[in-house]
Structure 1
Amino acid sequence: MGVLEDKSRARTFYKYLSKVYDRVNTFIWTEEMRAEALSMLDIDADDRVLDVGCGTGFGTEGLLQHTEHVYGLDQSPHQLEKAWAKLGKRDPVAFHFGDAERLPFKDDSFDLVWSSGSIEYWPHPVEGLREIRRVAKPGSQVLVVGPDYPTSTVFQKLADAIMLFYDEAEADRMFREAGFEDIEHRVLRKNESSPPAIVSVARAPERDEG
């Protein structure tokens, strides 16, 4: 487990990173990359959408271009304060302080769940994905963005020491273990020298009526 996959360390990390997060983020996750990820989804204007690990609201802003019914959740009060400053504390987004691995929502609450730049900090990512499946309506789409696993052995060791990095095979394993279906992946990057992000889209299974 990487250093930042500990929740208390991650909160401390974001206490300081939140001050410059929006500037740093543009080197890793851009508006163009966000738009391409959003194009992988079918979002209707009346869909109820959850942004897990919403941070300062960058992904949330993209979701608001498609629906007004957006809910954001993050475990960092400092990140949420940045999101509130940009978007308001209650309107147009219903923000919640909470843990991705213990979502404070009822079963089948959302038509779509989005999470970008969060899974790499979850100590138990499969449990987090199961929680997402629980709150997602049967048949609904889920999109998760995380850091793609480095190809260099040296960088692999460094990545493993910090937080979760994974490739398409590992993403498949995690999503299938969490009970998802119709899984697909796309690797996005700002340019050839930028760190890659892996975008995974899957579907919550329909209920067995039998």
Structure 2
Amino acid sequence: MGILENKARARLFYKYFSNLYDTVNPFIWNEEMRDEALEWFDVGPGDRVLDVGCGTGFATEGILQHTDDVHGLDQSDGQLSKAFAKFGRDGDVRFYRGDAERLPFRDDAFDALWSSGSIEYWPDPVAALREFRRVTKPGGTVLVVGPDYPDSAVFQKLADAIMLFYDEAEGDRMFTEAGFEEFDHHIQQRKPGTPRAITTVATVPATEEASDDEPVAAQS
């Protein structure tokens, strides 16, 4: 397990890194990559969407171009403070401080769920993916963006020491164990030679009748 696959260390890291996040992020995950993923996400007006690991709200801004019912969750006060500066505490997005592995929402609370740049910090990714399936209505879309496993053996050792990097085979295992039956992986890259992202688009199995309950607010 990498050094940042620990919730306390990840919170400490983002306490300081949040000040640089919006400057560094475009070199790894830019608007073009986000907008391509949003096409796969395929949400529309009126869809209630949860953005898990919303950070400073980079993906949230893109989701708002498709629906105005957006909810953001993050465990980092530093990241959320930047999001509040963009959107306000009582603006278009409702924010929550919470844990991806224990989402503070009712079953079937959302039409779709997005999570980019967060899975690499989860100690138990399968537990979080099960939570994603639980809070998303059957037939809804769950989209998860994480760092693709490097090809170089040297970079693989470095990646393993820091946080979770995974390939398509490992993605298959995690999503299958979490109860997903239909999913596709897409590899995204800003340009050759830059870090790759693995973006998984999954469908929640349509086994239960969806609920129209409002999401339960988390303590922020």
Q: Equivalent residue of 1:111, what SS?
A: strand
Q: Which runs of 4+ in 1 moved over 6 A?
A: none
The answer to whether the 8 A contact 2:30-2:190 is kept is yes
Displacement after TM superposition at 1:208 (Å):
5.9
2-structure distance, mates of 1:90, 1:98: 18
- The AA in structure 2 aligned to 1:196 is R
1-structure distance, mates of 2:180, 2:141: 10
1-structure distance, mates of 2:46, 2:36: 21
- The AA in structure 1 aligned to 2:148 is D
Displacement after TM superposition at 1:160 (Å):
0.6
- Equivalent residue, structure 2, for 1:6: 6
Q: 1:34-45 counterparts in 2 under 5 A?
A: 34-45=34-45
State the percentage of identical aligned residues: 67
2-structure distance, mates of 1:11, 1:37: 26
The 1:159–1:96 alpha-carbon spacing in structure 2 relative to 1, beyond 3 Å, is same
2-structure distance, mates of 1:36, 1:43: 13
- Equivalent residue, structure 1, for 2:203: 203
- Equivalent residue, structure 2, for 1:29: 29
Question: Mind listing any 5+ residue stretches in structure 2 that lack a counterpart?
Answer: 210-220
- Equivalent residue, structure 2, for 1:155: 155
Could you say what the CA RMSD is over the residues aligned between the two structures, in angstroms? 0.9
2-structure distance, mates of 1:43, 1:206: 17
2-structure distance, mates of 1:208, 1:103: 19
- Equivalent residue, structure 1, for 2:111: 111
1-structure distance, mates of 2:2, 2:94: 31
The 1:62–1:208 alpha-carbon spacing in structure 2 relative to 1, beyond 3 Å, is closer
2-structure distance, mates of 1:206, 1:187: 27
**TM-score, with structure 1 as normaliser:** 0.98
- Equivalent residue, structure 2, for 1:144: 144
- Equivalent residue, structure 2, for 1:86: 86
- The AA in structure 1 aligned to 2:119 is I
The alignment status of 1:49 with 2:57, answered yes or no, reads no
**TM-score, with structure 2 as normaliser:** 0.93
1-structure distance, mates of 2:41, 2:193: 27
